[in-house]
Amino acid sequence: MNLLVTIAVALRALRVNALRSGLTMLGIIIGVAAVIAMVAVGAGAQERVNAQIESLGANLLIVFNASSRQGGAQGGSGTRPNLTLGDAVALQAEVDAVELAAPNVGGRAQVIFGNLNWSVTIQGTTPEYFPVREWEVVEGRAFGPEDVRGATKVAVLGQTVVENLFVDRNPIGETIRIKKVPFRVIGVLATKGQSSFGQDQDDVVLIPITTARKRVLGTNSKARPDSVNIIFLKAVNAERLKEAEEAVNDLLRQRHRIRPGEEDDFKVRNLEEITAARAASQKILTVLLSAVASIALLVGGIGIMNIMLVSVTERTREIGLRMALGARRKDIMVQFLVEAVTLSLIGGFIGIVAGLVGAAVIGSLADWPVKIQPTASLVAAVFSGAVGVFFGYYPARKAARLDPIDALRSE
Amino acid sequence: MADPLIQTKNLGRTYHLGDNVVPALRSVSMAIEPGEFVAVMGPSGSGKSTFMNLIGCLDRPTGGEYWLAGENVADLDIDALAGIRNRKIGFVFQTFNLLARTTALQNVEMPLLYSGIDSANRRERATARLTDVGLAERMDHTPSQLSGGQQQRVAIARALVNDPVLVLADEPTGALDSRTSIEIMSILQDLNTAGITIVIVTHEADIAQYAKRVVTFRDGVVLKDTPVTSRLFASDILKDWENPAEAMQ
C-alpha cells in the first residue's frame, strides 16, 4: 500500500474520532508548546544578560574602597575611603593594559527645575567616564577637562531625569538646582536601561568631580579631600582584562603601602563575573523548564500510546477484515504507525504555533525579552514525530500480530 | 477437465488449548473443480469453519496438503497467504464487515489498496463491480445509509473487485430476511454462471439447495458429499414472488 494512501486512511480514521484525536493531541500540544515557549523565554533572558554585559562595557574593571574593620566589626563596602584622584591618574598613566580611568564620587540629592523636583543619584566624575562606560551623549555635549579643572557648574542628565523634570522641553541650556546650587544642563545621555540588578541606570546626573566635591556632596571631615568612591577602568581590550586586573592590584598595593600578607584596602571587580553568575542561573532555569517540558511531551506520548491501544482493541474487526482482504502485517503496522505519527505531528505543529504565541504573550505581559529559536521549532517537530513512532510502535505491532480469524470473530 | 481449483489431501488442523489437543479437522481430502457451487453444512464444532478458514488461506493446516489453483499453499508464510487472499479469493461474511462511516465505493476499493493499484484504476474497477450488483446509484452511501441486502451486495462487489478465482461466503444470508436472502443467492448464482467458483457455508438446508453440491461435516470429517438433485434457481423464485398468480397455476 503506498504511503499517500496510508496517510489518507490514517487521516480518515482520526477524523472519525475527532474529539478523541484532539484530546490525545493535547498532550503533545502542551508538551511542544511548553518546550518552544520556555526555550524562547530562556534565550531571551540570555540575550538580555549578554546585552547588559555589552552595555556595562565588556572591558570594564571597577575598583571599590574595601570595607573597614574596626575591632572585629566589618563595615560595609566603601567605609574606608582610601582611593584617591591620584590613584586614578596613576592607574591610567602607569598600567599599560588600562586605557582610561574615571574616578567617581556620588550621592543622592534633590534636583529642582521650575516647580518640579526629582531625587536622583549625583555622580561627580571626569570626562573619561563617558568612554569608559561606553555611554554616549546624544544631545549637547559632555563636560571636558577644563570643566573639571574649573569646577564649573554644568550637568549631563540621564534620560529618566529628563523625562521627569523636562516633560516636553529641551533641557539643553536650562538651569537646574542641585542642593540649591544652580547648574547649567549641557548634555543628555543615551538610554542605558536597567542594570543587571534592576537599577535604573538612566536615573543619574553627571557633574564634574571637582564641582561635586566642593558644591554638592560636602566633605567628609575624616576623609582625605581627594578621596573617591569608585574608579572605573577601561582595559585596552577584553583579552587583557585579567592582566589589567593584576597590574591594578599591584600598583594600588604599592601606592597604598600595603605590606605582603596584609589585606587590600580596595577591591577590583570584573563585571563579567557578576553577569556570568546570573547567566548561569538563567541557564539552569532553562534546563529545568526544558526538563518539565520534556516530561509533558513524554506524558503526551504515553497518551498517544494509550489511545492507539484502545483504537487497536476497538478496531480489531477492521484489522481482521483488512487482513482477510489481503493486508500484510507490514501494511497494518504502517497504518497504525502513520496514525500515531500523524497525531503527534499535527499535535507538534499546533504546539509550535501555540508555543510561539505563548512566548509572545509572555514577552508582552511580563515585559520579558523573548527570542524565538527556529532550531527549537525544528527540534520540537522532529521530536514529536519521534514520540509518535516510539509510542505508536507497540500498539501498531500489536495490531499487526493479530490473527485474522480471531480478529474477524471479535465483537 | 482442468486441474481442480481446490485440492486437499489429508488436510488437518489441531488446536492446542492449554494441555488439551483439539482436532478440529481430522483428515479431509477433497477436490473442487473450477465452476462449482459448493454448500458446506454441518453443526457447530463439525469442522466446517476450520475447513473454510483453511481453504480461505486465513489459517495454516497442521497436517496434509492444500493446492489452490495448482499452487501448494499449505507451507506459505503469513504474508504470502495475505497475497493469495488478496489476488485469488473473495470473502463474503455473514455480518457484511463493511467499514462504518466509509462510502460503498471506498469499501469496495479496499482490497485494491493492498494490490498496489493506482487510484484511477481502483475507482474504475470498484465502480464497475458496484454497478454489477445494482448499486451504481448508491456508491457514495455509507453502510448506515444502506439496507442489509444492499450492504451485502456492497460486500459481494468488494469480494469481486480483484477478479478472484474463488468466492468464499460464510453464512451470506444469515443476517438477512428470506426475500433478501434469495436476492443474494440470485447474485451468487449469476456469478457462478459467469464462471466463478463459489463455496458457501450455511446451516439452512433450503439455502444449500441453490448450490450444485452439498458437503456435510461432522466431528472434523466429511460425513456426506452429494450433488444437489433438485436445485433451486433464485431468479425463478423471485419472478414467482413478483407474480404470485402465475406461480399458482
> For A321, which of B56, B82, B97 is closest by C-beta distance?
B97
A99-103, A268-272, B202-206, B211-215: range with lowest mean pLDDT: A268-272
Closest CB to A405 among B59, B158, B162: B59
Q: Which residue of A has its CA nearest to B82?
A: A326
Q: Which residue of B has its CA nearest to A321?
A: B97
Chain A hits for B87, Cβ within 8 Å: 326
At position A66, the amino acid (one-letter code) is: A
The answer to whether residue A89 scores a pLDDT higher than 80 is yes
Angstroms from A308 CA to nearest CA on chain B: 18
* Mean pLDDT of all residues belonging to chain B: 91
Share of chain B above pLDDT 90, in %: 78
Q: Does A331 touch chain B (CB under 8 A)?
A: yes
Query: What is the arithmetic mean of pLDDT over A321-334?
Result: 92
SS (H, E, C) chain B: CCCCCEEEEEEEEEEEECCEEEEEEEEEEEEECCCCEEEEECCCCCCHHHHHHHHCCCCCCCEEEEEECCEECCCCCHHHHHHHHHHHEEEECCCCCCCCCCCHHHHHHHHHHCCCCCHHHHHHHHHHHHHHCCCHHHCCCCHHHCCHHHHHHHHHHHHHCCCCCEEEEECCCCCCCHHHHHHHHHHHHHHHHCCCEEEEECCCHHHHCCCCEEEEEECCEEEEEEECCCCCCHHHHHHHHHCHHHHHC
Task: Say yes or no: A323 contacts chain B, CB-CB below 8 A.
Answer: yes
State what percent of residues in chain A have pLDDT above 90.
28
The nearest CA of chain B is from the CA of A341 a distance in Å of 21
Span B59-81, pLDDT tens digits: 999 999 999 988 899 888 999 99
Judged by a CB distance cut-off of 8 A, whether residue A318 touches chain B is: yes
Q: For residue A87, give the H/E element and its range.
A: helix A85-94
Q: Which residue has the higher pLDDT, A57 or B171?
A: B171
User: Taking CB atoms and an 8 Å limit, are B97 and A330 in contact across chains?
Assistant: no
> Mutate which of B114, B129, B156, B170 to disrupt the A interface (most A C-beta within 10 Å)?
B114
A321, A325, A329: best to mutate for the B interface, most B CBs within 10 A: A325
User: What residue in B sits closest to A318 (Cα-Cα)?
Assistant: B99
Residue A218 has pLDDT above 70, yes or no: no
Whether the CB-CB separation of A282 and A45 falls below 8 Å is answered with yes
- With 0-12 / 13-18 / 19 or more C-beta atoms within 10 angstroms meaning exposed / middle / buried, residue A399 is buried
Cβ–Cβ < 8 Å for A167, A153: no
Quick check: B113 and A1 CB within 8 A? yes
Q: Which of A2, A327, A404 sits opposite B58 (nearest CB)?
A: A404
Q: How confident is the model at residue A290 (pLDDT cuts 50, 70, 90)?
A: confident
Q: CB–CB of A5 and B113 under 8 A? A: yes
Most A CBs within 10 Å, among B113, B168, B170, to test the A interface: B113
Q: Which phi and psi (to 5°) does residue A326 adopt?
A: 120, 5
Q: Is A396 helix (H, G, I), strand (E, B) or coil?
A: helix
**pLDDT of B1:** 47
Query: How many beta-carbon pairs under 8 angstroms link A with B?
Result: 57
Q: State which residue of chain A sits closest to B79, comparing Cα positions.
A: A328
Does the beta-carbon distance from A2 to B83 stay under 8 Å?
no
How much is the pLDDT for A222? Answer: 52
Residues in B lying within 8 Å of A, measured between beta carbons: 53, 56, 58-59, 78-79, 82-83, 85-87, 91, 93, 97, 99-102, 110-111, 113-116, 119, 158, 162
What pLDDT does residue A221 have? 47
Tell me the percentage of chain B whose pLDDT exceeds 70.
Answer: 97
> Is A344 a residue whose pLDDT tops 50?
yes
Chain A residue closest in CA terms to B118: A2
- The C-alpha atoms of residue A238 and residue A242 are separated, in whole angstroms, by 8
Q: Chain B contacts of A327, Cβ < 8 Å?
A: 82, 114
For A252-282, how does the pLDDT look when each residue is reduced to its tens digit (9 = 90+)?
A: 888 888 888 888 888 888 776 666 766 677 6
Chain A environment of B111 (Cβ under 8 Å): 325-326
- This complex has an ipTM of 0.93
Predicted pLDDT at B51: 94
Grid coordinates given for A356: 510561539
Interface touch B114/A322, C-beta < 8 Å: yes
A108-160 residue pLDDT tens: 888 998 888 888 889 999 999 988 888 889 889 999 999 999 889 999 999 99
Q: Which amino acid is at A72?
A: G
Highest mean pLDDT among A44-53, B113-122, B218-227: B218-227
Say if A7 is an interface residue toward chain B (CB within 8 Å): no
Non-local (6+) Cβ contacts of B244 within 8 A are: none
The pTM (predicted TM-score) of the whole model is: 0.69
Contact A1 B78 (CB under 8 A): no
pLDDT given at position A109 = 87
**Of the ranges A1-15, A75-89, A202-216, B224-238, which one carries the lowest mean pLDDT score?**
A75-89
User: What pLDDT score was predicted for residue B90?
Assistant: 95
Q: How far is B166 from chain A (nearest CA, A)?
A: 13
Q: At what angle do helices B104-113 and B119-132 cross, to 10 degrees?
A: 130
Across residues A370-399, what is the average pLDDT?
A: 88
Q: Does A17 touch chain B (CB under 8 A)?
A: no
Q: Mean pLDDT score of chain A, rounded to an integer?
A: 84
**With an 8 Å Cβ cutoff, are A321 and B99 in contact?**
yes
Eight-state DSSP code of residue A102: E
Chain B residues whose beta carbon lies within 8 Å of the beta carbon of residue A404: 58
In the predicted model, what is the mean pLDDT of residues B164-172?
94
Rounded mean pLDDT of A385-408? 93
Nearest-CB residue to B91 (from A9, A324, A329): A324
Which residue in chain A is spatially nearest to B78 when comparing CA positions? Answer: A328
B247, pLDDT greater than 80: no
Residue B58 clears pLDDT 80, i.e. is over it: yes
